[in-house]
Amino acid sequence: MTLAGGGNNGGGLDVNGPAANENFFEGQDVLSISPYAAQLNVTVGGNLNLVGSQIINEGIAGNINLAVGGKIDVGNGIDSVGQNLGIFTTSGGNVSVTANGDINVDGSRIATYGGGNIDVVSKTGDVNAGNGGQGGLYVWLAYLNSDGTITDTRQFVSGSGILESVAKDSPAIVGNITVEAPEGSINASSGGIAQLAFNGKHDSSTFISLDAGKDINAANSGVIGYNLKLKAGGSINGLFIGAGNVSVSAGQNFGGTLIGSGSVTVNAGGTISGSIVGGGDISASGGTITATLISSSVSASGNTAGAAEGLPTGGIAKEVLPDNTSSSANNADQSTDDWRKKKKATLGQPAGQVTVVLPKI
Q: pLDDT for 330-343, tens place per residue?
A: 343 444 444 334 33
> How do beta strands 136-144 and 150-158 pair?
antiparallel
Give a yes or no: residue 349 inside a domain: no
Over the stretch 283-301, which tens digit does the pLDDT of each residue have? 999 999 999 999 989 999 9
**Which among 15-19, 70-74, 128-132 has the top mean pLDDT?**
70-74
Whether 346 maps to a domain, the answer reads no
The band of 313, judged by pLDDT with boundaries at 50, 70 and 90, is very low
For residue 51, the model assigns a pLDDT of 76
Q: How many domains does the chain have?
A: 1
When pLDDT is averaged across residues 289-315 and rounded to a whole number, the result is 79
pLDDT at residue 6 tops 60: no
Nearest to 85 by CA among 187, 14, 175, 189: 14
Query: Containing domain of residue 191, as a range?
Result: 2-234
Among candidate residues 315, 304, 317, 318, the one with its CA nearest the CA of residue 354: 315
Task: Let me know if residue 177 belongs to a domain.
Answer: yes
Mean pLDDT, residues 198-203: 86
- Domain assignment present for 352: no
What number is the average pLDDT over the span 155-160?
81
pLDDT of residue 66: 97
What pLDDT is stored for residue 3 in this prediction? 57
Q: How large is the average pLDDT for residues 170-182?
A: 95
Q: Who wins on pLDDT, 241 or 29? A: 241
Whether 22 is in a domain gets the answer yes
Residue 33, pLDDT above cutoff 90: no
Looking at residue 354, its pLDDT comes to 38
Indicate whether 182 pLDDT > 60: yes
- Strand positions, DSSP E, 193-349: 193-197, 207-212, 216-225, 227-232, 236-242, 246-250, 254-260, 264-268, 271-278, 281-289, 292-294, 297-303, 308-310, 319-322, 327-328
**pLDDT band of 36, cuts 50, 70, 90:** confident
Q: Is there a domain that residue 358 lies in? A: no
The closest of 118, 214, 203 to 161, measured between CA atoms, is 118
Largest CA distance in the chain: 82
**Taking 50 as the threshold, does the pLDDT of residue 349 lie above it?**
no
Residue with the larger pLDDT of the pair 44 and 361: 44
Quote the pTM value.
Answer: 0.81
Look at 359 and 85; give whichever has higher pLDDT.
85
